[in-house]
Amino acid sequence: MANKTNHLLSEALWKIYRRPERPRPWVDGGNLPWDEPGFSERMLREHLDESHGAASRVAAERAQQIDWLWQKLYLQRPFGSHLLDVTCGPGLYAVELARRGCRVTGLDFSPASIDYARNLARSEGVAARCRFLEQDVRQMGDALDDTVFDAALLLYGQLAVFTKAEAQALLADIAHRLRPGGRLCVELLNQDRVDKRDNTWWFTDKTGLWGDRPFLHLGERFWDEEAQMSLERFYVIHLEDGDLTEILLCDQTYSVTDMTAMLTGAGFQAVELYPAWDGLPLYDAGEWVVYVAER
């Protein structure tokens, strides 16, 4: 067994040594394995970890965002708004908005997050107002049919993990599902604030996002100037068995001009712009631009 592990470790190291100098966006990969059960469970732990805001913002910051969204999306309708939460994660926004009176439909690709969202809705007494679906948001029609919504969320930069063509199609699909006057909130990284330096790093751990046994994580970041895209290439060597995990994450950035054009091209009639989360005291507010688009 030891000989097999050593052989696999050697193969993994040689594969990393011989890796292409730069990854090819959307060819060598492009997204995290959200729907892989083990990764999904580990990502859920990160969402719920109140010591950082890397996966979901901490509760105090979410509360301020939810107050803001309640006003900007006109969710205080007399008979309750129907909200579509695209890439809803574990339902931390959706369930709170349901507590305030909204009906909520949340979509996400992560099985662990969807299970958590459903349980959270039950524990908060709002399960009757919540529907959480394990679904690739690029195929929303498979789950939503002709449902019409009053508002929609696409938060924490999740639009950036799709190709430009997929992002445009997703925005058009959301617009199609909103009633006239319905509003969408999109949160994206400010292209002018994105770190455009190439970078490398490594670390070891025995538990975390990349596994629950000892591993060595090697990371590289590249900036593609032509595509205005950040590419992060991860190699994770699992030390006990020699397995190698390879992941490429493509993170597309957008200028304000380009995103505004994409929203209007998707069918939105007006777009409001809120740099730095409109002054909310979030720890990383300056890194973000928030768009509120009206159908």
From first to last of its 295 residues, what are the pLDDT tens digits of the chain?
A: 688 999 999 999 999 999 999 999 999 999 999 999 999 999 999 999 999 999 999 999 999 999 999 999 999 987 789 999 999 999 999 999 999 999 999 999 999 999 999 999 999 999 999 999 999 999 998 889 889 999 999 999 999 999 999 999 999 999 999 999 999 999 999 999 999 999 999 999 999 999 999 999 999 999 999 999 999 999 999 999 999 999 999 999 999 999 999 999 999 999 999 999 999 999 999 999 999 999 9
Find out whether 50 and 59 touch, Cβ atoms under 8 Å. yes
20 and 72, same structural domain? no
The CA radius of gyration of the chain, in Å to the nearest whole number, is 20
For 189, phi then psi, to 5°, come to -65, 140
For 147, phi then psi, to 5°, come to -60, 135
94 and 71, same structural domain? yes
129 and 119, same structural domain? yes
90 and 79, same structural domain? yes
278 and 141, same structural domain? yes
For 181, phi then psi, to 5°, come to 90, -10
Question: How many Å apart are CA 161 and CA 50, to the nearest integer?
Answer: 24
pLDDT digits (tens, 9 = 90+) for 63-80: 999 999 999 999 998 778
Helix or strand holding residue 139 (H, E): none
Find out whether 287 and 174 touch, Cβ atoms under 8 Å. no
Query: Measuring CA to CA, which residue among 111, 90, 106 is closest to residue 39?
Result: 111
244 and 216, same structural domain? yes
How far CA 271 is from CA of 152, 153, 194, 213, 263, in Å, comes to 14, 14, 22, 47, 7
Instruction: List the CATH number of the domain containing 66.
Output: 3.40.50.150
Question: How many Å apart are CA 270 and CA 278, to the nearest integer?
Answer: 18
For 142, phi then psi, to 5°, come to -65, -20
100 and 55, same structural domain? yes
Find out whether 222 and 131 touch, Cβ atoms under 8 Å. no
278 and 263, same structural domain? yes
Where helices occur in the chain by DSSP H, the ranges are 2-17, 37-48, 59-72, 92-99, 111-123, 141-144, 164-177, 256-266
Q: What is the number of domains present in the chain?
A: 2
Query: Measuring CA to CA, which residue among 216, 248, 246, 211 is closest to residue 42?
Result: 211
Residues in the chain: 295
59 and 184, same structural domain? yes
Task: Collect all residues with Cβ–Cβ distance below 8 Å to 92 and sequence separation of at least 6.
Answer: 47, 56, 62, 120
Find out whether 107 and 195 touch, Cβ atoms under 8 Å. no
Amino acid present at 62? R
pLDDT digits (tens, 9 = 90+) for 217-253: 999 999 999 999 999 999 999 999 999 999 999 999 9
Beta strand 82-86 with 149-154 is: parallel
User: Residue 209 sits in which domain range?
Assistant: 2-30+195-252
187 and 89, same structural domain? yes
Strands in 244-252's sheet, in edge-to-edge order, are 199-205, 215-224, 229-238, 244-252
Indicate whether this model's pTM tops 0.75.
yes
77 and 223, same structural domain? no
204 and 181, same structural domain? no
For 55, phi then psi, to 5°, come to -110, -50
